[in-house]
Chains A and B, each alone.
Chain A
Amino acid sequence: MMESDRMMEQGLWHGRQGASPNLADVLERVLDKGLIIAGDIKINLLDIELLTVKLRLLVASVDKAKAMGIDWWEHDPALSQPRARQLAAENARLRKRVEALETAAPESRR
């Protein structure tokens, strides 16, 4: 076994030596990368994409969520497909609105 192979198994660069990689990095790779096999699959890509969207909408860190014992999707109907899209769109709209307000507010008060 080559040295680099041992490194890969132990993930030598993930923070402390021998520490397992952080969950966000693992999820990014196994949910977002890796080969997609079309066809004979039980979970379709849309679901995976939704999981990913949901992960990105998260406002609590994984560690915090764990500490609080939150299984976020369980208590959140957002995984049903239209709702997740709605949330993402709504999120984007709200950000724009807040930005617009922050930009406009001082001038409008003069």
Chain B
Amino acid sequence: MASYTYAVARPFDPNQAAGLVGVDGAAIHLVRHQDLVAVVSPLAPADADEAALRARLQTLAELEAIARAHHRVVAAVAACTPTLPFRLATVHRTDDRVARLLRREYRRFRETLERLAGRVEVGVKIYVQHEGASAGAMSVAEKTGGSGSARVGRDYMRYRREQRDRRQYAWRCATTAAEQIDAVLAGLAVDRRQHRTQSAALSAAPGENVFNAAYLVDAGRAEELAARARRLGAENPDVTLEVTGPWPAYSFAGSEERT
């Protein structure tokens, strides 16, 4: 059996994770080394093969099931104890290899867990609304009353240009608003990471995503930061703001190259 590894954490009462299942419904167990544990579940040998695992991750249904199982375990453990989340599909050949990893990276894991202890991640996404892409285009052309198609074409082109200018202006306003909001929120947070904006295609998003960030905050202040973010978003007519979380500190796990 290969070992699917979700996270490294400070030891906690296993009863708190009783009944917790991970990828493929497999039961969770802990691999210990001194005052660290790795959270692991067995993965059938057939699935632990690289090609097989990759193939599974290439269908949306499988990817979603594995991603949600991974997140469920990480979130459940993070609710009990300081937790360092691993990336999806971190699979070791055996529990012995996992123990070896804990020995090898002991100091780094300890330091990171210290930094994350008692803290959660709050996600903030800021969107700009755009009017319907080309809904008004023909009506503008029709309103001109021109008979020639060249006239209609010119009007259409002018409309498209004006529309593009309006979009750019709205985008600039939203970006400026996002910078101001970010400055306030960063002041409430221990740390922050800016992420790539999400494509509208991926989420039922309320507009175009212009800002996407995560804030590391003391758990006791997460609600405060979220409320502040929502208020700032509500006060600003140029943007729509969405708060997600609280999350385990995925974005602050320390594997990111500072860009």
Contact = CB atoms under 8 A, between A and B. Distances in A.
B17 to A, nearest CB: 11
B14 interface: no
Contacts of A2: 219
A24 B198 contact: yes
B50 interface: yes
Among A9, A35, A58: residue with most chain B CB under 10 A:
A35
A35 B255 contact: yes
Interface residues of A, number: 59
Contacts of B201: 58-61
A109 interface: yes
A8 B192 CA distance: 18
A19 B221 CA distance: 22
B219 A30 contact: no
A63 B199 CA distance: 14
A42 B47 CA distance: 10
B130 interface: no
B244 A13 contact: yes
A72 to B, nearest CB: 6
Contact of B88 (A12, A34, A65, A105): A34
A48 B50 contact: no
A12 B245 CA distance: 7
Interface in A1-59: 1-2, 4-9, 11-14, 20-37, 39-44, 47-48, 51, 55-56, 58-59
A62 B85 contact: no
Interface SS, B side: mixed
Contacts of A28: 195, 198
B44 interface: no
Contacts of A24: 198, 202-203
Given A4-B246, A27-B63, A36-B87, A51 B57 contact: yes
A8 B202 contact: no
B198 A48 contact: no
A109 B91 contact: no
A22 B203 contact: yes
B79 A56 contact: no
A40 B86 contact: no
Given A33-B214, A37-B90, 19 more contacts: A2-B219, A7-B222, A7-B223, A8-B246, A11-B245, A27-B63, A33-B251, A34-B86, A35-B253, A43-B53, A48-B89, A55-B202, A58-B199, A60-B201, A61-B204, A71-B58, A71-B61, A73-B60, A105-B157
